[in-house]
């Protein structure tokens, strides 16, 4: 019975995704068709139309590339990885973008650990969460990435100084296609959550209005197998 439950849950996620994709791609396609028709009719204002059309194509493009990431058969090769190394890689990658917005990325490692994980997927999660933090901080500031641990778990917190998240949307953040951004896909947190759940962890979201948001990734520490 449990297996059936798990399967039907997976089905509904797939169904949810399919419906979302159809919807998200149909909108820009409808708009594209309209502009092609206008161009065909020889209407003035071509430059403006081309710009909008390219934006719509970009939107479809980013949705499909994020979906391809999900659809990719999970070659799930996991190894012992040092948390701070993965975070350092990601921070180097995102530093250029952060600087443009006057944002400092601070890595604070209180207790470094290794976790048994898929490096590529784990880095994808860190990228998604730090990028989200950057995108909320248009006035600049500091994003702290803190690594702590206790006996059984490690905690990776991404703490921003953005506007926070209002309580009536906080439960929707992990749903596919939920976005408050003009250029958003609403897939980043859904994918991140899936990856962390696959690693037997979870993502907690906390918000302090006007102080910022904290996304806390909790992952089980690797234990030496004793058979
Ligand atoms: P996207 O970034 O494409 O919008 P995500 O799944 O990454 O999609 O995020 C979904 C939504 O969650 C965002 O549109 C935003 O409203 C909210 N969100 C995510 N991270 C933060 C954050 N650090 N601070 C405030 N809101 C956030
Ligand atoms: Mg995002």
Could you read off the pLDDT of 14-47 as tens digits, one per residue? Answer: 666 676 778 788 888 999 999 999 999 988 888 8
- Side by side, the strands of the sheet bearing 153-159 are 103-109, 141-149, 153-159, 212-220, 202-208
Q: What is the pTM of this model?
A: 0.79
Q: Is a pLDDT exceeding 90 seen at residue 74?
A: no
DSSP 222: P
Cβ atoms 10, 35 nearer than 8 A: no
Q: What percent of the chain has pLDDT over 90?
A: 59
Residues lining ligand 1, Cβ inside 6 A: 128, 132-133, 136, 160, 162, 165, 173, 178-181, 184-190, 213
In this structure, the residue with its CA closest to atom 23 of ligand 1 is 133
Q: 């906080």: which residue's tokens?
A: 170
Give pLDDT, residue 132.
Answer: 96
Give pLDDT, residue 130.
Answer: 96
Nearest atom of ligand 1 to the alpha carbon of 183:
3
pLDDT range class, residue 5, cuts 50, 70, 90: low
Give pLDDT, residue 7.
Answer: 53
Report CA(199)–ligand 1 centroid distance (Å): 22
DSSP 211: T
The residue to mutate among 97, 105, 129, 132, having the most atoms of ligand 1 within 8 angstroms of its beta carbon, is 132
- Of 110 and 8, the structure prediction assigns the larger pLDDT to 110
Give pLDDT, residue 227.
Answer: 47
Q: What percent of the chain has pLDDT over 70?
A: 87
- Supply 130's token pair: 């730090």
The residue to mutate among 179, 185, 196, 205, having the most atoms of ligand 1 within 8 angstroms of its beta carbon, is 179
């Amino acid at each position: 019975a449990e297996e059936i439950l798990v399967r039907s849950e997976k089905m509904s996620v797939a169904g949810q995704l399919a419906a979302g994709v159809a919807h998200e791609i149909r909108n820009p396609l409808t708009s594209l068709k309209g502009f092609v028709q206008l161009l065909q009719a020889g209407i003035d204002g071509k430059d403006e139309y081309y710009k909008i059309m390219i934006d719509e194509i970009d939107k479809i493009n980013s949705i499909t590339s994020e979906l391809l990431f999900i659809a990719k058969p999970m070659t799930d090769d996991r190894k012992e990885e040092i948390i701070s190394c993965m975070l350092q890689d990601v921070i180097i990658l995102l530093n250029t973008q952060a600087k443009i917005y006057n944002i400092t990325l601070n890595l604070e490692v209180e207790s470094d650990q290794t976790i048994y994980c898929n490096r590529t997927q784990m880095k994808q999660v860190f990228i998604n969460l730090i990028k989200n933090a950057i995108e909320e901080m248009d006035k600049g500031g500091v994003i702290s990435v803190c690594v702590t641990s206790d006996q059984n778990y490690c905690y990776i917190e991404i703490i921003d100084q953005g506007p926070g998240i209002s309580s009536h949307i906080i439960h929707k953040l992990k749903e596919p296609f939920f976005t408050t951004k003009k250029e958003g896909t609403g897939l980043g947190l859904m994918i991140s959550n899936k990856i962390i759940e696959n690693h037997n962890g979870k993502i907690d979201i906390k918000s302090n209005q006007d102080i910022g948001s904290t996304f806390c990734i909790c992952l089980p520490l690797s234990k030496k197998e004793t058979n």
